[in-house]
Structure 1
Amino acid sequence: MLSRYLLSIVTMACSLTALAQPIEGADGRLTDPSGRVLYTFDRDSAGVSACKDECAVQWPPFSASPDASAKPAFSQLRRDDGSLQWAHRGKPLYYFVGDAKPGQASGDGLGGTWHVARTRPAETPDSGPSYSPKGY
């Protein structure tokens, strides 16, 4: 009972800015309109959230309003509790409670299953030309 109460408080707090659709940052990261980073969960399947109960307390869903219109690649899914959640290419989107400020992404890679939501792969720094001699 207490965990459901906490979940509703955290979800409500995160939902205040979550009624608009996700925004793509310059580096391809997805954020909410206030700049809070969004995440995906490897255990989710297309259009279905596997993050419930205690999981959703730590990883609150990025809520959607019923009248929000989605751009291509974005959609809404209905959670088990009847609320709507934004998805990118079918993958549900979440916040991480450990992120204290916009742009922070301290949940990236946690448990090997949580990742910053991106519209394209992260760019890796160019280490310059590589040398590979022939025949070796």
Structure 2
Amino acid sequence: MRTMLIAMGIFAATSLSAFAAEPAKMVDTKMGKVLATEEGMTLYTFDKDQDGKSNCDEKCLKNWPAFHASQGAKPEGEWTLVKDSAGKDMWAYKGKPLYTFVKDKKEGDTTGDNVGGVWHVVK
């Protein structure tokens, strides 16, 4: 019986890590459901980025803040980590680095979609 309880405890502990929360969520917007931060701020991709590499420089990041990962965050599934221009870890989804937009003020705002023809909401 004791061995079975220990085995169940080990299984439960290792299973929890397999179900780690994703760093973002889906929110409803006028454009339909989009990917957003936990606070509900819409996430965007930048056409000038390359898979696994951010090309948004320091000036760019003032308007398009990187979706930074918390310390100790681990990539999982389609979620990976890349470095922003300052060398900080930021999230990427399906290889595309993710950003918010300074002109989005509340949950569900999508004012950054198609800015300059190179910024796009993530659906």
Range class of TM-score, shorter chain: 0.7 to 0.9
Structure 1 residues without counterparts, runs of 5 or longer: 1-19, 119-136
Partner residue of 1:30 out of 8, 30, 35: 35
More strand by share: 2
More helix by share: 2
Q: Is 1:103 paired with 2:99? A: no
**Could you tell me the TM-score, scaled by structure 1's length?**
0.67
Superimposed CA distance per residue, residues 66-109 of structure 1 (whole angstroms, 9 cap, x where no aligned partner): 31234421111122322000000010000000101111000001
Q: Which amino acid in structure 2 is aligned with residue 73 of structure 1? A: E
Task: Name the SS for the 1:25 alignment partner.
Answer: strand
- The answer as to whether partners of 1:59 and 1:96 remain within 8 angstroms in 2 is yes
Q: Which runs of 4+ in 1 moved over 6 A?
A: none
31-40 vs 78-87, greater mean Cα deviation: 78-87
Structure 2 residues without counterparts, runs of 5 or longer: 1-21
For residue 28 of structure 1, report the CA deviation from its aligned partner.
4.3
Superimposed CA distance per residue, residues 29-57 of structure 1 (whole angstroms, 9 cap, x where no aligned partner): 11000111000000000010011121110
**Could you tell me the TM-score, scaled by structure 2's length?**
0.73
Q: Which amino acid in structure 1 is aligned with residue 24 of structure 2? A: P
- The answer as to whether partners of 2:24 and 2:35 remain within 8 angstroms in 1 is yes
Percent identity of the aligned residues? Answer: 38
Partner residue of 1:55 out of 38, 53, 60: 60
Q: Which amino acid in structure 1 is aligned with residue 119 of structure 2? A: W
* Number of residue pairs matched by the alignment: 99
Distance 2:71 2:83 in 1: 10
For residue 23 of structure 1, report the CA deviation from its aligned partner.
1.5
